[in-house]
Amino acid sequence: MSFSYRTAIHWFRRDLRLSDNTALWNASRLSETVVPTFILSEWRGDHHWTGPGRQQFLCDCLASLANNLEAIGSRLIIRQGKAIAALETLIKESKAEAVFFNRDPDPFGRETEKKVQELCRSLGIECHSYKDVVIHEPDEVLNGSGNPYRVYTPYSKNWFDQPKPEVLGRPKQISTPSEISSLPLPSLKTWGITLDSSLTMISAGERAARERLATALSGPLLHYAVKRNDPAADSSSMLGADLRYGTISPRTVFHRAQKVADEVETAEQRKSLHTFLKQLAWREFYMAILGHYPEVLDEEFNPQWRHLQWDAPEKDDAFDRWREGRTGFPIVDAGMRQLLATGYMHNRVRMITAMFLTKDLHLDWRLGESHFMRHLIDGEIANNNGGWQWSAGTGADAAPYFRIQNPWTQTGRYDSNGDYIKRWVPELAKTDPKRFQAPPEPLDPLADDYPLPMVDHRTERDRTLEIFKVHKDS
């Protein structure tokens, strides 16, 4: 077999798997030896956009990846520092003739990629980058005038119409030069942080991701169209963190779900699987929005709503009460506590809690965005920003500002038996669930040790409408 390179580096980023990994597949095909490398970030203590749960998930993904590499005769090389400096050292040490990586859709990742390409050019070696994190990159799905879509429905139609790339294989064997040194696998100590011991997270790694997909396709996703809004039912795939860290590829998820959709017996099951596939298009819509409009990380997507006046987070302890699940709105508190306990929150409840923060407490969506990023194991910059701006009414194809969900009626619609609320708010275990669907009277709390609602929804709704209207007219 003839190779193009004697040694190449595969730079792992958010693609922590061996199967169907485009850059790794090509690196292993074209190179006699491969240095599979992950570069740890250097921050310590506190990070605006991640937290102990997600870092622990990352550590577990890396441990699993290292095992998988060993099983095919290779080793994971861990380095720490700025990606450019670490790669430069490694290129020189290993005498690598090429660097392979999968492209990252977020602006920070793309900035680093440009520098890596310049580095390779300056060192006179090849640099190969691939589409892998998404099925269609932002520039592949454009409207008739060649511009990015700002609305989901036409985007998704175009997205579905495009031919889908096939799934690649899994390298059978990779040789890695024995003299290349590696740091030990990271732990939370690497960043000087500790995990709350009560956090119960999903398991990490490529096998766990494959099992989650298989489980989802064998049951929950067959009823997804009807059940996906029921937060007490295990009705979704739970693949968010896997897609975030690339322990499974979006191509694999798409083709497996499509295959099941082709084989199922009822129209309802087919519809369910199609509804699920639409979520993959939402993921790529938000990645395209972030790719084309990176300013959404700082300001409102819709220019009309920039510089809205939000309240101070300290006012009445509002932000703390929301974060800790002590608002006195059972569905909101259940969601916020699910997030703290598991690093996950059901999609419907993400919308309710986000709308509550912005429309009932009048707090800046960026506060909530950062809190979610610190706690969600599936924290994904593009989806999170999209979800927050949607809920705040400021984003791409967002809920219009005057459509304000009422947490009490949302409870009646999506958790009418109170199963979800009772699971996460034990103080309410003995309360009649019908009482979760309307505000309690001031002298009649839902339980002795549960707070009265911190605000009156109708009053705050009117205030939101006023704030947006005044801003619009100004």
- Where does this chain touch ligand FAD (CB under 6 A) — which range of 332-340, 375-383, 442-450, 461-469? 375-383
DSSP string, 83-147: HHHHHHHHHHHHT-SEEEEEPP-SHHHHHHHHHHHHHHHHHT-EEEEE--SSSS-GGGSB-TTS-
- One-letter amino acid for residue 237 of the chain: S
272 scored as a contact of ligand FAD (CB under 6 A): no
Q: How far is the CB of 154 from ligand FAD (least distance, A)?
A: 17
Can you tell me which of 10, 128, 256, 283 binds ligand FAD, judged by CB under 6 A? Answer: 283
DSSP category for residue 40: E
| H or E, element range at 172 | none
Smaller CB separation from ligand FAD, 66 or 133: 133
Smaller CB separation from ligand FAD, 94 or 358: 358
Smaller CB separation from ligand FAD, 379 or 407: 379
380 scored as a contact of ligand FAD (CB under 6 A): yes
156 scored as a contact of ligand FAD (CB under 6 A): no
Q: How far is the CB of 368 from ligand FAD (least distance, A)?
A: 7
Q: How far is the CB of 339 from ligand FAD (least distance, A)?
A: 10
Distance CA 261, CA 273 (A): 6
- One-letter amino acid for residue 354 of the chain: A
Smaller CB separation from ligand FAD, 27 or 354: 354
239 scored as a contact of ligand FAD (CB under 6 A): yes
Burial of 62 (0-12, 13-18, 19+ CB in 10 A): buried
240 scored as a contact of ligand FAD (CB under 6 A): yes
378 scored as a contact of ligand FAD (CB under 6 A): yes
Can you tell me which of 387, 393, 407, 453 binds ligand FAD, judged by CB under 6 A? Answer: 387
383 scored as a contact of ligand FAD (CB under 6 A): yes
**CA 269 → CA 107, 237, 240, 256, distances in Å?**
37, 15, 22, 14
Smaller CB separation from ligand FAD, 42 or 268: 268
236 scored as a contact of ligand FAD (CB under 6 A): yes
Q: Which residue has the tokens 């622990």?
A: 56
In the structure encoding, which two tokens stand for residue 25, read together? 């597949």
β-partners of residue 12 are 38
Cα angle for residues 252, 253, 255 (degrees, 5° grid): 65
Q: Answer whether 331's CB lies under 8 Å from 436's CB.
A: yes
Binding site for ligand FAD (CB under 6 A): 236-240, 243, 279-280, 282-283, 286, 347, 350-351, 354, 372, 376, 378-380, 383-384, 386-388, 391
